[in-house]
Structure 1
Amino acid sequence: SDGYFDATQTFVVGADSDIASFADLAGKNVAVKNATAGADFANSLKDQYGFTVTTFEDSPTMYQDVLLGNSAACVEDTPIMAASIKEGDLALKIPAGMESEGAPYGFAIMNKSNQELLDMFNAGLKNIKANGKYEEILNKYLK
């Protein structure tokens, strides 16, 4: 489908951490989930900034590693982290300037015979963007 949200990956640190840049991670460990965009982002920066990467199978274990102090940061989808932090579920924070470039989310249509469904989705997306409902949803859940 047409892209409906430009998602970024972000480094996340403990709420009381003084890490404010990639350079602050030198000599430290960064937790990532296996085979994710976040892992790719961290691995693309590890040599330049001198940190190591440890892989986990799921988000809760990765977050716990940061909360326990074993890793200085983890990398996760920005909207997921922003929502979890906003809801007060995690004692973590997102330092400014530690995000990846955005990549659009889309609605996957696996069957080529579903062109009508794809067209309906794209038309609906265009409509809610035009009438302000899209921005209302983003503000409620992601900002």
Structure 2
Amino acid sequence: MKSALKTIALAAAIGLAAISGAAAQQVRVGFAAEPYPPFTSPDASGNWEGWEVDFMKAICAEAKLDCVVTPVAWDGIIPALTTSKIDMIIGSMSITPERQQTIDFSDKYYNSLPGIIGPKDQKFEPTPEGLAGKTLGVQVATIHQVYANKYFAPAGVTVKEYQTQDEANNDLAAGRIDAVQADSVAMLEFLKTEQGSACCDMKGMVKDDPEVLGLGVGVGLRKGETELKDKINAAIKAIRENGKYEEFSKKYFDFDIYGG
């Protein structure tokens, strides 16, 4: 009888372990390797923090996923996903028709327009005509690079490309370029820093083009990963409805980052 009970107990333990393992599916989450405040930045100990880190933690807890942050160079982040080096991208990646040819996306989890910043002592409009003859910095492999080459370059604006956003911001602060285009939220964060507030101000938002700028930011996923996509979409909906999204967002923003 004792032997039978031990067998039953062992089987139950194995069954519970299997259930636990299934509930803790490990997912490698690709972040851009460089800081992108207020969304993602490593602290002094190398631990990642920021709004998108909080977002990741919230949806992974909701979806019962064991999410592991995996830093990847931004210009190689989509190839890292398609070759299974990572399992999803949470990195302020806009949902664009061009990217949708290669990867899939979750539902939108935030949306903001690009902004242009420049030196405080220079007055110009954030338009192709306003920047004619000037040099505009953008990060490679971003919607801002595509947008600048489509609208600004043909109007006589020199588009200078950078591997990281920090490099573009540093060149602007040093006076080596005349303006920078990037996500307006990230640019406003830069303008709060000692470096940014000393040199620059916001010139305004660029004219929207959904074909280039997309319809918001989504979690990047491999095509065919239907089960994971369904889990992520359900988790985004749940944290929007249960108040968790608003709760952690208030730590960073005094406006609705979800956007229209």
Task: Please tell me the TM-score bracket, short chain as reference.
Answer: 0.7 to 0.9
Decide whether aligned partners of structure 1 residues 6 and 12 sit closer, same or farther in structure 2, where only a CA change above 3 A counts. same
The question of whether the paired residues in 2 share the 8 Å contact of 1:12 and 1:94 is answered with: yes
Q: Which residue of 2 aligns with 1:33?
A: 139
**Is the contact made by 2:115 and 2:204 (CA closer than 8 Å) also made in structure 1?**
no
State how far apart, in whole Å, the 1-side matches of 2:165 and 2:195 are. 13
Alignment of 1:54-65 (within 5 A): 54-65=160-171
Letter in 1 for 2:164: D
Quick one: structure 1 residues 138 and 15, their matched pair in 2 at CA, closer, same or farther if it must change by over 3 Å? farther
Specify the alignment match of 1:97 in structure 2: 205
Task: Decide which of 163, 186, 189 is 1:83's aligned counterpart.
Answer: 189
Higher Cα radius of gyration: 2
Answer yes or no: is the 8 Å Cα contact 2:116–2:205 preserved in 1: no
Pair 1:42–1:139, CA change in 2 (3 A):
farther
**Which structure exhibits the higher relative contact order, with contacts defined as CA atoms closer than 8 Å and separated by 6 or more residues?**
1
Report the equivalent of 1:6.
111
- Residue 220 of structure 2 corresponds to which residue in structure 1? 108
Unaligned 5+ runs, structure 2: 1-105, 256-260
Q: Contact conserved, 1:32 with 1:74, CA < 8 A, in 2? A: yes
Q: Report if aligned partners of 2:138, 2:182 keep a CA contact under 8 Å in 1.
A: yes
Cα distance, 1:89 vs structure 2? 5.5
The CA deviation string for residues 41-96 of structure 1, in whole angstroms up to 9 with x for no partner, is: 11111245431112222222211221122211012122322333345552333222
- 1:140 maps to 251
Partner of 2:236: 125
What's the offset of the Cα at 1:2? 1.0
| Residue identity in the other structure for 1:93 | D
Letter of the 2:143 counterpart: A
Say how many residue pairs are matched: 142
Letter in 1 for 2:218: G
The residue type equivalent to 1:13 in the other structure is G
Preserved contact between residue 10 and residue 98 of structure 1 (Cα < 8 Å)? yes
Question: 1:28, CA displacement in angstroms?
Answer: 1.0
* Structure 1 stretch displaced more, 126-135 or 19-28: 126-135
Indicate the SS of the match to 1:140: coil
In structure 1, what is the Cα distance between the partners aligned to 2:249 and 2:121? 27
Letter of the 1:57 partner, please give it.
Q
> Which residue of 2 is the match for residue 69 of structure 1?
175
Does structure 2 retain, via aligned residues, the 8 Å contact 1:9–1:37? no
Q: Tell me the C-alpha RMSD between the 2 structures.
A: 2.7
**Aligned match of 2:74:** none
